[in-house]
Amino acid sequence: MKHYNILIFPCGTEIANEIFRSLKNHKYFKLQGATSIENSYCDFRNIEISQLPFVNDKSFLDELKKIIRNKNIDLIIPAHDDVAYKLSELENKINANVIGQNYNINKIVRFKDKTYSYFEKILPVPSYKEDPENTNNYPLFVKPKKGQGSNNSFKLDNIDDYNSFKKSYNYEDFVIMEYLNGDEFTIDCFSINGKLKYMGARSRDKTINGISVRSSFINDEKLNQEFKNYAETISEELNMDGVWFYQMKYDINGDLRLLEIGPRVSGTMMLNRARGINFVELSIYNELGYELELTYNNFNDIIVGRSLQPVYKQDLVYNNLYIDFDDTLFLDEKYINTELIKLIFQIKNENKNVYLITKHDKKMLTKVLHDFGITNIFDDIIHLSNEENKIDFMKDKSILIDDSFQERNEAIKANFYALSIDNISILLRE
């Protein structure tokens, strides 16, 4: 298999994070990123980030062509709904393949009113409220015809809420529909030429800004069969090809209603990836024309929780890493600090030096290192007497990682860097 250059755009979204994590260690795919937001920091390390105008900018196509040409881009993976829509429109004008659904599909699913109109007699779609001023069926729900997540979506409890909404927003840009107050589900799907090949339904137990941050598989066989039937219908009707998803929610009577169809990767597809279904990889293989047989582990009792994780961008210059042993590498006199082990091998991959520096009893130290199989991962092991100071054994351009407040202070005063075990993540790369 040849190597491919893959552009993730925009690279500052949760969708982009899932794409990156799906492909980051693939030996045939070299990942690159692009963003339209100046000074945006993408959650990737060690990949090149380019700047692109917003997709509605007149110069977008020309600038995209330049990046494709200069960076030898083979494939582009959209990480936002507007980008997926625009790239599907422009695909015939650029010298790179777009991972996603075609323009005809995007023209339907990007707009809620068009989606509901298209599937009105095929799937259970929410009921419209054409004249909210003359209805007693409050509460209602309003959301943009062209939008994602819960952005600019509102519950209208009465006519006063409706009138307030009309004063603040352009009515024509929104869909006003029945209020769905039940549980919500996302069904991640993969199709080939309209035939559904995989469906994984999951709950949306907790959402923040429309992003599912806690999700688990649906184990109800009857409900899964219902989701599969709807997935097959959508896939055949639109001739889906590759990765996509759709969302449903219970109405006030406990009946499912279609919320939206997404022609792209979803941010929480990682739950299905835990089964072994890597939607992004599969979509690339499908785009490249490979025959695919989808197999996966039958893991059902998995819950994924997501939280904001700090990712640091830093320009620390150092050649040597010194690591304390007690309560730093060796925790509670029982466990090895696995986060530090990851950092040690990252540093070794960068051809920097890693030293263990400690006053721990030499005999006991040798036994612990041997028992955990890490005797030879250090460039040197420095044993100190109780009277000796660590800073006297440290070379220039060094970092000390130590649980001791005093020893960190001494290192900083001696013009070294010093970190505690709570903040070594600033050195770790994705």
At 88, which CATH number?
Answer: 3.40.50.20
Which of 158, 237, 155 has the alpha carbon at shortest distance from 196? 237
Nearest Cα residue to 309 out of 198, 406, 426, 217: 426
Cα-Cα-Cα-Cα dihedral sign, residues 402, 406, 407, 408: positive
Residue 235: both structure tokens together: 């896939």
Specify if 60 maps to a domain.
yes
Task: Please state the domain count of the chain.
Answer: 4
Q: Which two tokens stand for residue 308?
A: 């904001």
- Give yes or no: residues 146 and 217 share one domain: no
71 membership: H or E segment, kind and range: none
Q: Which of 305, 340, 358 is the last residue of a domain?
A: 305
* Secondary structure class of 169 (helix, strand, coil): coil
Is residue 414 in some structural domain? yes
Q: Check whether residue 164 and residue 190 sit in a common domain.
A: no
Domain identity same for 367 and 269 = no
- Give yes or no: residues 209 and 254 share one domain: yes
- Is residue 252, in this structure, part of any structural domain at all? yes
* Adjacent-strand bridge partners of 203: 185
User: Is 311 within the bounds of a domain?
Assistant: no
Q: Within this chain, do residues 380 and 327 fall inside the same structural domain, yes or no?
A: yes
Alpha-carbon distances of 360 from 70, 72, 327, 398, rounded to whole Å: 55, 53, 11, 21
315 within some domain: no
Q: Are residues 213 and 261 in the same domain?
A: yes
Same-domain pairing of 171 and 185: no
Q: Which helix (H) or strand (E) holds 339?
A: helix 338-349
Q: In what order do the strands lie in the sheet with 398-401?
A: 380-383, 353-358, 320-323, 398-401, 417-419
Domain shared by 286 and 193, yes or no: yes
CA distance 425 to 419: 10
Look at residue 310 in the predicted model and tell me its pLDDT. Answer: 67
Give the N- to C-terminal CA distance of the chain in Å, as an integer: 26
> Domain limits at 19?
4-99
Does residue 246 sit in the same domain as residue 353?
A: no
Whole-model pTM? 0.85
Amino acid identity of 123?
L
Closest CA to 235 of 317, 129, 119: 119
- Say if residue 92 is in the same domain as residue 167: no
310 in any annotated domain:
no
CATH code for the domain in which residue 409 is found: 3.40.50.1000
Calpha distance 278→269 (Å, rounded):
8
| Inside any domain, residue 119 | no
Q: What is the CATH number of the domain that holds 287?
A: 3.30.470.20
- pLDDT tens sequence for the chain (430 residues): 899 999 999 998 889 989 999 998 899 999 999 999 876 666 666 788 999 999 999 999 999 999 999 999 999 999 999 999 999 999 999 999 999 999 999 999 999 999 999 999 999 999 876 667 666 778 889 988 887 666 678 888 988 888 888 888 888 889 888 889 899 999 999 999 999 999 999 998 777 666 767 788 999 999 999 999 999 999 999 999 999 999 999 998 999 999 999 999 988 898 999 999 999 999 999 999 999 989 888 877 888 877 667 676 778 899 999 999 999 999 999 999 999 999 999 999 999 999 999 999 888 899 999 999 999 999 999 999 989 999 999 999 999 999 999 999 999 999 999 999 988 888 987 6
Determine contact, residues 249/256, Cβ cutoff 8 Å: yes
Whether residue 415 is contained in a domain is answered as yes
Residues 383 and 238: their CA atoms lie apart, in Å, by 68
Q: Are the beta carbons of 354 and 381 closer than 8 angstroms? A: no
3-state secondary structure string, 102-155?
Answer: CHHHHHHHCCHHHHHHHHCCCCCCCCECCCHHHCCCCCEEEEECCCCCCCCCEE
